[in-house]
Structure 1
Amino acid sequence: MPDAPRPTLLFVVTEDWYFRSHRLPTARAARDAGFDVAVACRVAKDGPAIAAEGFRVIPLPWRRGSFNPLSALGDIRRLARLYRRERPTIIHHIAVKPTVLGGFALFLAGLRDTRVVATLAGLGLGLSGTGTKAALGRVLLRLALNAAGWRRGQALVVQNGDDAALLAAGWPRPPASRLIRGSGVDLTHYEELAEPLGPVTCAQVSRMLTLKGVEDLVAAVRLVRAQGTDLRLILAGAPDTDSPAAIPRATLNAWAAEPGIEWLGAVSDVRTVWARASIAVLASRGGEGVPKSLLEAAACGRAIVATDVPGSREVAVEGRNALLAPPRDPVALAAVLARLAQDAALRRRLGRASRGVVDPEFGEAEVGRRMRDLYLGLVTPVPIPHRDGGL
């Protein structure tokens, strides 16, 4: 008697680098649980590394920063053709754009038996705001989830409690949902580090985007230094020139020419950054999912300074391992940085607590286990229960 065919899991995500950085542990957990895994994404330099894991890579020509109706319709038709051709057991849409366009595409493809997981990795400024554009975005998101048929047993994954509450507001019938905080951090790879010697140094590891508050952080460090505290700043990350929010390379180079500021560009191993910096910063102006850069810094035992926005405060806990400042406020951010730079005992106390915040809940093994259980639940007749505050 032939073996039953393996269930297939198709990830739909915009960028190959994001999948490699954030979703490989989940894909490995699914593979080890018996799924054949494919990844549909825009393929650049990280496609071969994904394929080397044994995952089939399907190129998708996503348009970065484009959500106009004509390009969206083209993406929907393209996804519908892909879904009809592949007929996967489960489709996992990751982030808002794949969730919205993929939901309509699944309806167009007419696949009634395909299960769907939608992970909203941070609603950010685009959907969490109070303006007309944000409200319209939330309506489109709900319509797309309806089109995907989430009431038939599909699952919506959110990464922080703020996003869960926002999506639940005004939603008359909540979908089955899971609150799974973040995409996981390798707790064996990122070990606690001793605090470095020399001048106190803070670092932000992120893409160099205005949305990440990099300009606010530079302004805050200038204020701290002008007040007589020798605080150094390391910026680690690429400018992401495809994004409309990218900070020009000329601006980054000009900052790096200032005393006390260093821009490293993209860094392959961020442990080298945390070996030099005793304070991890993320000055984001809007919501995050759960920022992986802060998870990695916390695993290395670093005190955290973050803006008080959704997602960041899941791992940056005020008074436990972090100090928070309001977003878009360089003066308030400077005050928090100065306090931590001048108080070695406080830095050590917060840093020692950071590892306990992320271990084990944010470990990639725990996140992978929870996602694996979610997938397995979708391919059995047992409905997924509401857990961790269903929407």
Structure 2
Amino acid sequence: MAKILIFGGYAKSLTNFRGELIKDMVRLGHQVIGMAPETGFEGELNAIGAQYQRVPLQRTGLNPLKDLAALRLLVKEFRQMQPDILLSYTIKPVIYGSLAARAAGVPRVYSMITGLGYAFAGRSLKQKLLLSLVRILYSQSLRKNARVFFQNPDDIAVFRKFHLLPNGDSAVLINGSGVDIRKFSFVKAKTNPVIFLLMARLIREKGIAEYVEAARLLKPRFPEARFQILGPPDSNPSAIRQEEIAAWQSEGIVEYLGQTNDVRPYISECSVFVLPSFYPEGTPRSILEAMSMGRPVITTDAPGCRETVRRNMNGFLVPVKDSLALADAMERFIVNPSLVTEMGIRSRVTAEEKYDVRKVNRSILEAMDLLEVGRSCVQQN
């Protein structure tokens, strides 16, 4: 039995994005401890057979003194816990977790790159300076990693370009975080009227302004079509303000549905899922959930997004920040609603074949040499 630490930047993501992986590890006989900065998450991890340990790390921001103090505490925690394996995901846990694990003598260290993030997203002076620092930190922290998991080939190419991977190139490509195809079951889409749904955090990088502009172009000609937005507000500097959303609603352009802990009823009610993101995604989980429920997808020809759509088969790819192209793609579903059903079925098939979380988890466990070892432990017990 291996003692495995899974370290993420946000406690809720341990169950939302790694829950099925943790369950599989537990079923195979391993001891799993989830780690994140928040308090009060023991119950959620205990419910799936794991433990929870809070770790002192600021999820966002760059404060060298605080981050250095957190690194020292992580080294101390790892030495006390004596894990066999560390798996980290999101930028700060990957960097500081890997550095601390090496200092503490953790035998096997793995990282998962779930998107490139803010430093890689633009060309401002701040981002260029941050990128230089991030490159140094990645190259140092990943140097001794056994494997580095990536959710799309574009991110692998970037890491190779900047020589950020360990010697021997330990990159492993996986199909995102996967989706539970049984939980997100197929539901036939309604097409009268055609309802579009954008589901994301309310930040500009998700293409929300472009979506609203596309709706503004289409609404006068197709007043029956509906354009919905679902997602929580955000503290990011590029967050969409509540006043903007209220103005859009007053204009009669979009419907803001608020936020929810269960997206399935909203996906069930929509016809087409839209995510015109230009944020450096890993593989957007929201797209996979919509595909699993049988919804065609309109998304951007951008890293992480483009892998989910087989062009003109289960949806359409549009250029980033192009509201005209987005409106054209949306119009195709309005004037030809039979595409909703045809492409939605293909989305479901793709989810089953490529993105089933059980298949994704198996590839992760195999790459970590846990699958057969875990089975042996279960048989011995």
TM-score (normalizing by structure 2): 0.89
- Distance in 1 (alpha carbons) for counterparts of 2:322 and 2:215: 12
The CA distance in 2 between the partners of 1:62 and 1:207, in whole Å, is: 22
Q: Which residue of 2 aligns with 1:132?
A: 128
Conservation of the 8 A alpha-carbon contact between 1:235 and 1:263: yes
Evaluate the alpha carbon distance shift between residue 215 and residue 46 of structure 1 in structure 2; reply closer, same or farther with a 3 A threshold. farther
Secondary structure class of the residue paired with 2:251: coil
Task: Tell me which residue corresponds to 1:144.
Answer: 141
| Structure 1 residues without counterparts, runs of 5 or longer | 1-5, 381-391
Instruction: Give identity over the alignment, percent.
Output: 28
Aligned partner letter, 2:142: L
Gaps of 5+ in 2: 374-381
Q: Which of the residues 95, 103, 106 maps onto 2:98? A: 103
Alignment of 1:1-391 (within 5 A): 6-43=1-38, 47-107=42-102, 109-111=103-105, 113-127=106-120, 132-133=128-129, 134-146=131-143, 149-150=144-145, 154-171=146-163, 173-228=167-222, 230-241=224-235, 243-376=236-369
Distance in 2 of aligned mates of 1:230 and 1:44: 46
Higher deviation after alignment, 285-294 or 174-183: 174-183
Greater shift in the superposed pair: 310-319 or 133-142: 133-142
Structure 1 residues 41-76: Cα deviation after superposition (integer angstroms, max 9, x where no partner): 022575522232221111124324312322321221
Q: 1:137 to 1:379 in 2, by over 3 A?
A: farther
Deviation of 1:359 (Å)? 1.0
User: Using a 3 Å threshold, how does the CA distance of structure 1 residues 46 and 328 change in structure 2: closer, same or farther?
Assistant: farther
Change (3 A) 1:231 1:56: same
Q: 1:175 to 1:235 in 2, by over 3 A?
A: same
In structure 2, the CA distance between the partners of 1:266 and 1:46, relative to structure 1 (3 Å rule), is farther
Task: Give the distance between the partners of 2:251 and 2:39, measured in 1 at CA.
Answer: 34
List per-residue Cα deviations over 1:308-346 (Å, max 9, x = no partner): 111111112221211111112222222222222222133
Q: Secondary structure at the match of 1:275?
A: helix
Q: State the shift of 1:378 in Å.
A: 9.9
Provide the C-alpha distance between the structure 2 equivalents of 1:317 and 1:65, rounded to a whole number of angstroms: 34
**What TM-score, normalized by structure 1, do the two folds share?**
0.87
Per-residue deviation at 1:303?
A: 1.0
Give the 3-state SS of the residue equivalent to 1:351 in structure 2. helix
What is the RMSD of the two structures over their aligned residues, measured on CA atoms? 2.2
CA shift in 2, pair 1:132/1:240, >3 Å: closer
